[in-house]
Structure 1
Amino acid sequence: MKTIFISIPWFVPAFKAGGPIQSIANMVNELNEGYQFYIYTSNTDLHGLPIAVAVTNEWVEYNAYTKVWYANKKDRSQNLVEQVKLLRPDSLYIVGLFDWHFNIVPLLYAECADKVLSVRGMLHPGALSQKAIKKKVFIQGLKWMKADKKYRFHATDKTEAGYINNIFGEEARVMVAGNFPRLFPEQGFARKAGGSLKLISIGIISPMKNYLLVIQALQQASGNVQYDIYGPVKEPRYWEECLEAIKRLPSNVKVFYHPELPSHKVLHKLQGQQVFILPSKSENYGHAIVEALSAGLPVITSDTVPWLGLEEARAGLNVNLEEES
């Protein structure tokens, strides 16, 4: 049996940090033969919000072949390094690039011959444009560490592999393996009545998700529109811009914001809606998009996500962001 040690800033029951949590949860739920997983994570959700876990700073069972260590802030890095040394995993799988405790520390100090760096969309040009100075510093540090020679990289598709090679060079060792989706059974969604529309978005509130573009577009709506937004605010200043734009919407457009949506409630919230909309500037995978499509809900998104050809498949629409901006 192969032992995999996973270092990730947040994990279930955390959910506000978005896709990587769902990606790893899906992976350890599906790969149930021949692997033993140890997931080292924080005892918080996004922005340091506490999560409901009974035990911290020791291994607890997640499923038959997965254990999780919910680390307190104190000695977080030291405990990670010690646990890797004790467990001697076959591979150390590091989720993300820019977190000190869960990305940089295991790269620098943990003892494992096979370290795999999963970039999870963080090298997409759109993602790099956010908080660019900090990210440039971290990337230069990785280059100084000779990451292209010491570690393997995990890309979820060929496009992401190209982003890795663009930054770390063609000699970087890149594995391409797609995400494990969570698929819903097809649902019977609400029929669209003439002159009305029900929209839903699920995702972190940040410029990357492009909520402001949707809100501004709704200023031109002539029929009755209900728009439900689900997701924690990651960028408060951006959300303030969105709120100002919402104030300028005509009376026929109603926007309802819901700050939290745990993973197990997603399907319930999709039911009764008519269109899922999320024109992201970039997506490493787009779990919410996949889940909406799998449940049979039409999707409007951008042409910079992995899920293209929606119009041809009669499943939705990919919009060109440059034309819409």
Structure 2
Amino acid sequence: MPKPTILTFVHWYWPGYKGGGPIRTILNMVDVLGDDLEFRIVTSDRDLKDKAPYAGIAADSWQRVGKARVHYTSSGKQGILNWAHLIQNTPHDVVYLNSLFDLAFTFRPLLACKLMEATKNPIIIAPRGELSPGAISLKRWKKVPFLQIAKRLGLYRNIVWQATTEDEGELIRRQFGVNVKVAVAGNLPRTIVDLPPRSDAGVPRGPLRIAFLSRISRNKNLDYALRVLSGARSAIQFDIWGPLEDPVYWEECQTFMEVLRANVKVQYCGLAKPTNVIGILSNYDLLFLPTRGENYGHVIAEAFSAGTPVLISDTTPWRNLQAEGVGWDLPLDAGEHTFVKVIEESGQMIPANREVWRKRVQDFAQKRLYDPNLVSANFGLFLRASGRPCRAEDKATTLGRDLGDPAL
């Protein structure tokens, strides 16, 4: 029996990396499940905000990329008619849409499927955290009417929804009705890597090294992080990594940087390629990400894999971190002083204790991230949608192996 074919729409994919977590989500999924499922991935021919297409990639044709076949679509061929033609002419068992609000790679393909009847096969939508209160509050004036219109058009009728947590499943039911089909299948992680030696191991305590690694956008809340640091008294080196997605917001953040006390040194370090993220994070004492909301938070998982504790908001699936001894998840409305207190405590830790903590964090990652039940849940999501028989024991993939970048 041939493998089920999953026709996957995602706005950005390898070799892109500026789009953040969704790229890594699909890369990991293909790497773990690609031996048993045939992934056909439809994506843009360029990275987020880039004007030029990827070098060396043939647009508007299928090509093998790692374990998947990928269709890098040029900007002029992302309309409803083009999607209808592509869907009708690509054999598939399931259509998989990796966003709720993406105009080009969710809404238009959904219109092609529903209004132009491009497929009679099941459709799965993964909202990827876009229904969280924090995410909905950003451009609410646009998102709420969008959902109302889409519902009236019947676009979400008979959709299978993928939730990455039970909480997200509740948000989906609250938005689309208690009887909708929801399958909970969490994101698949990257591999654990051997911890490289810290360059400052064994030396007297220096400044607390803190990283912010994410897209520079309002949802990631960099301005909140900077306001917190303005109240800190410890010596701190604060490095900002990530694409400047929102230039206006970045200018606002720069005004906060200009008034930081002399004890806080801040610098923008540029983009971090996915292959380098764990290595980069391993050189910091703390990842600081007071995000407004995350569906998963790949960079948080990667920080744990790197042995780096995290200081985050309580708007992600990563909760009760202090009880685990691997970080803190604090409510944003508790006030900036609560975050300042944690940073001050971290700044007083001696290097030897930081190394012990680092090992504890990676041990936590090994136990928490690499759960074979995650594989079964994701594999079962697609098997059930495609009408194939599914048993949990049919898929026993080991998650501890290297999830490197696909060979082009």
Q: Structure 1 length normalisation: TM-score?
A: 0.95
The alignment status of 1:281 with 2:297, answered yes or no, reads no
Match of 1:131 in 2: 139
After superposition, where does 1:110-149 map in structure 2 within 5 Å?
A: 110=113, 111-112=118-119, 113-149=121-157
CA distance in 2, matches of 1:53, 1:282: 36
Compared with structure 1, are the counterparts of its residues 259 and 196 closer, same or farther at alpha carbon in structure 2 (3 Å cutoff)?
closer
Q: Quick check: 2:279–2:306 contact (8 Å CA) kept in 1?
A: no
Percent of pairs identical after alignment? 34
Q: Deviations over 1:188-232 (max 9, x none)?
A: 445595462000111011121111111111112222210111111
Q: Deviations over 1:27-84 (max 9, x none)?
A: 0011033211110011122224433342111011012x41001111112233332221
Match of 2:162 in 1: 154
The alignment status of 1:216 with 2:224, answered yes or no, reads no
Q: Quick check: 1:280–1:304 contact (8 Å CA) kept in 2?
A: yes
Please point out which of 69, 75, 78 is paired with 1:76: 78
Match of 1:109 in 2: 112
CA distance in 1, matches of 2:219, 2:108: 27
Q: Quick check: 1:195–1:223 contact (8 Å CA) kept in 2?
A: no
CA distance in 2, matches of 1:82, 1:301: 44
CA distance in 1, matches of 2:234, 2:204: 10
Partner-residue secondary structure (3-state), 1:47 = coil
Compared with structure 1, are the counterparts of its residues 75 and 194 closer, same or farther at alpha carbon in structure 2 (3 Å cutoff)?
closer
- Higher-Rg structure is 2
Q: Quick check: 2:278–2:305 contact (8 Å CA) kept in 1?
A: no
After superposition, where does 1:161-240 map in structure 2 within 5 Å?
A: 161-187=169-195, 188-189=197-198, 190-191=200-201, 193-194=204-205, 196-240=207-251
Q: Quick check: 2:158–2:180 contact (8 Å CA) kept in 1?
A: no
CA distance in 2, matches of 1:28, 1:183: 14
Match of 1:42 in 2: 44
Aligned residues: 324
Q: Quick check: 1:223–1:252 contact (8 Å CA) kept in 2?
A: yes
CA distance in 1, matches of 2:206, 2:34: 49
Partner-residue secondary structure (3-state), 1:154 = strand
Q: Quick check: 2:97–2:123 contact (8 Å CA) kept in 1?
A: yes
Partner-residue secondary structure (3-state), 1:222 = coil
After superposition, where does 1:231-270 map in structure 2 within 5 Å?
A: 231-270=242-281
CA distance in 1, matches of 2:6, 2:28: 15
CA distance in 2, matches of 1:137, 1:49: 30
**Structure 1: which 5+ residue stretches go unaligned?**
none
Partner-residue secondary structure (3-state), 2:322 = coil
What is the RMSD of the two structures over their aligned residues, measured on CA atoms?
1.7
Q: Structure 2 length normalisation: TM-score?
A: 0.76
**Structure 2: which 5+ residue stretches go unaligned?**
337-408
Residue identity opposite 1:132 in structure 2: R
Partner-residue secondary structure (3-state), 2:333 = helix
Q: Quick check: 2:34–2:68 contact (8 Å CA) kept in 1?
A: no
Match of 2:396 in 1: none
Residue identity opposite 1:266 in structure 2: V
Partner-residue secondary structure (3-state), 1:258 = strand
